[in-house]
């Protein structure tokens, strides 16, 4: 997505000036505006958010303010698209920086997934077993539409086991994209064998790099995508944390590789991570395997607990980080001036089927 450079006036704002201008614009816009913030946003953004949440909560919360004219989504592009799909047309969904994408979502394109589907159909034959497509919410709207049109569903890290279990009640196989790790971790949670029951589909290889026999045998066809933030966590880091902090609880996001999830004590979405830490008694020690803005905020908001990131070198999600307070100030002041900038609009035909897939998730996983 292209984002024009910020006008110099905004690029040069000090943090204090940006805060003051954001708050002034919020006061002027009043109930016409709602700001949503994903847990990976920096503190300088989160403090202005009316609602914070994980992908699942924000998808539901988008509907919480039916009277708001502007939903400013401080997160990444696929989240803003989902909000646009789930809200009525009179509400404008705005992403303060259009370059805030998700590198994992970019690992699967509609062209590649269509091509994969065609090859799977060719191998399985017209009367073969039914494949149900499941897309992680971290995907473009046109992939959600692909799934909706073919009777599949969306899932998030909160509800992946429920969504995939449902998919396997509708058919014999699941094509899960774009995150192989969430797909594999979910399959294992449901009792499947990662070696025997799962194959990885590499979109750059014929048949995804698999033999036709393996495609016929596998229950899970996992897209070869990953999150570059969560891929950094390792079993060695967990062993190190256990050595240096006896009694530590290791809690990771299910976008981490299977061996990391298995070596951890707990795993779950960002909302789950927050709830676990907040519910723990004072003095608890937590090693967390997820994005650093969230881990640092948890540490600051729970000073009676020891909370640290499993990977001492971990950097923020670079795309989430593109939502800078200066962009938020620019967006809001434009709205005050009557200019709707950076609106995320999903085309009606895509919206129709993508909504079908998102609604299925919201119903199946309610």
Q: Which residues carry a binding-site annotation?
A: 38, 55, 102, 136-138, 157, 227, 253-255, 270, 317
Task: Name the binder of 319 from ligand 13P, ligand SF4, none, CB < 5-8 A by kind.
Answer: ligand SF4
Stretch that binds ligand SF4, among 152-160, 221-229, 240-248, 347-355 (CB under 6 A): 221-229
CA 252 and chain centroid, separation: 15
**Residue from 272, 238, 237, 235 nearest 253 by CA:** 272
Decide if residue 138 touches ligand SF4 (CB under 6 A): yes
Task: Name the binder of 341 from ligand SF4, ligand 13P, none, CB < 5-8 A by kind.
Answer: none
Decide if residue 270 touches ligand 13P (CB under 6 A): yes
CB of 20 to ligand 13P, least distance (A): 30
CB of 226 to ligand SF4, least distance (A): 8
**The one among 76, 98, 116, 252 contacting ligand SF4 by CB under 6 A:** 76
State which of positions 155-214 bind ligand SF4 (CB under 6 A): none
Decide if residue 139 touches ligand 13P (CB under 6 A): no
**Residue from 185, 158, 309, 157 nearest 248 by CA:** 309
* 219 and 187 Cβ atoms separated by less than 8 Å: yes
Cis peptide preceding 43, ω within 30 of 0: no
Q: Look at the alpha carbons of 148, 355, 82, 56 in this order and tell me if their dihedral is positive or negative.
A: negative
DSSP codes, 136-189 = ESSS-HHHHHHHHHTT-EEE-TTTHHHHHHHHHHH-SEEEEES-HHHHHHHHHH
CB of 228 to ligand SF4, least distance (A): 6
Stretch that binds ligand SF4, among 46-54, 99-107, 206-214, 303-311 (CB under 6 A): 99-107
State which of positions 205-244 bind ligand 13P (CB under 6 A): 227
Backbone angles phi, psi at 60, to 5 degrees: -75, -40
Output the CA–CA distances (angstroms, integers) from residue 243 to 239, 292, 293, in the order listed: 6, 22, 25
Q: What is the C-alpha to C-alpha distance for residues 360 and 356, in angstroms, rounded to an integer?
A: 6
CB of 1 to ligand 13P, least distance (A): 17
Starting at the earlier edge strand, list the strands of the sheet with 51-53: 51-53, 33-38, 70-74, 92-94
**The one among 135, 219, 269, 293 contacting ligand 13P by CB under 6 A:** 269
**Residue from 336, 312, 350, 294 nearest 45 by CA:** 294
Task: Name the binder of 54 from ligand 13P, ligand SF4, none, CB < 5-8 A by kind.
Answer: ligand 13P
**Terminal-to-terminal C-alpha distance of the chain:** 32
Decide if residue 291 touches ligand SF4 (CB under 6 A): yes
Decide if residue 256 touches ligand SF4 (CB under 6 A): no
Task: Name the binder of 81 from ligand SF4, ligand 13P, none, CB < 5-8 A by kind.
Answer: none
3 state SS of 72: strand
Decide if residue 156 touches ligand 13P (CB under 6 A): yes
Q: What is the C-alpha to C-alpha distance for residues 251 and 53, in angstroms, rounded to an integer?
A: 18
**The one among 120, 317, 346, 361 contacting ligand SF4 by CB under 6 A:** 317
Considering beta carbons, is residue 124 or 258 the nearer one to ligand 13P?
Answer: 258
Summarize as ranges the residues that interact with ligand 13P (CB under 6 A): 39, 54-56, 138, 156-157, 227, 253, 255, 269-270
Summarize as ranges the residues that interact with ligand SF4 (CB under 6 A): 76, 102-104, 138, 227-229, 255, 291, 317, 319-320
């Amino acid at each position: 997505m292209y984002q024009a450079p910020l006008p110099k006036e905004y690029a040069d704002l000090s943090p204090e000036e940006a805060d003051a201008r954001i708050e002034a614009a919020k006061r002027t816009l009043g109930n016409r505006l709602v700001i949503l913030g994903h847990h990976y946003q920096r503190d300088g953004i989160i403090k202005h958010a009316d609602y914070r949440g994980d992908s699942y909560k924000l998808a539901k919360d988008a509907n919480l303010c039916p009277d708001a004219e502007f939903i400013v989504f401080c997160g990444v592009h696929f989240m803003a698209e989902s909000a646009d799909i789930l809200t009525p047309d009179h509400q404008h969904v705005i992403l303060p920086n259009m370059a805030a994408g998700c590198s994992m979502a970019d690992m699967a394109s509609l062209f590649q997934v269509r091509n994969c589907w065609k090859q799977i159909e060719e191998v399985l034959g017209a009367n073969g077993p039914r494949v149900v497509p499941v897309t992680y919410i971290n995907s473009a709207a046109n992939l959600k539409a692909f799934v909706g049109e073919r009777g599949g569903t969306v899932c998030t890290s909160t509800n992946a086991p429920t969504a995939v279990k449902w998919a396997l009640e509708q058919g014999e196989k699941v094509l899960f994209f774009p995150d192989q790790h969430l797909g594999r971790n979910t399959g294992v949670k449901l009792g499947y064998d990662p070696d025997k029951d799962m194959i990885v589909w590499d979109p750059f290889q014929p048949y995804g790099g698999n033999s036709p026999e393996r495609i016929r045998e596998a229950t899970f066809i996992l897209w070869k995508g990953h999150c570059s933030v969560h891929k950094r966590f390792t079993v060695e880091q967990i062993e190190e944390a256990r050595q240096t902090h006896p009694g530590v609880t290791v809690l990771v996001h299910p976008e981490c590789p299977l061996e990391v999830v298995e070596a951890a004590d707990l795993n779950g979405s960002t909302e789950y991570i927050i709830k676990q830490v907040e519910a723990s008694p004072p003095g608890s020690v937590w090693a967390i395997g997820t994005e650093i803005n969230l881990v640092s905020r948890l540490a600051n908001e729970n000073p009676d607990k020891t909370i640290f990131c499993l990977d001492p070198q971990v950097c923020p999600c670079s795309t989430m980080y593109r939502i800078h307070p200066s962009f938020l100030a620019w967006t809001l002041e434009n709205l005050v001036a009557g200019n709707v900038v950076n609106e995320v609009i999903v085309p009606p035909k895509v919206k129709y089927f993508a909504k079908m897939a998102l609604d299925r998730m919201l119903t199946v996983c309610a």
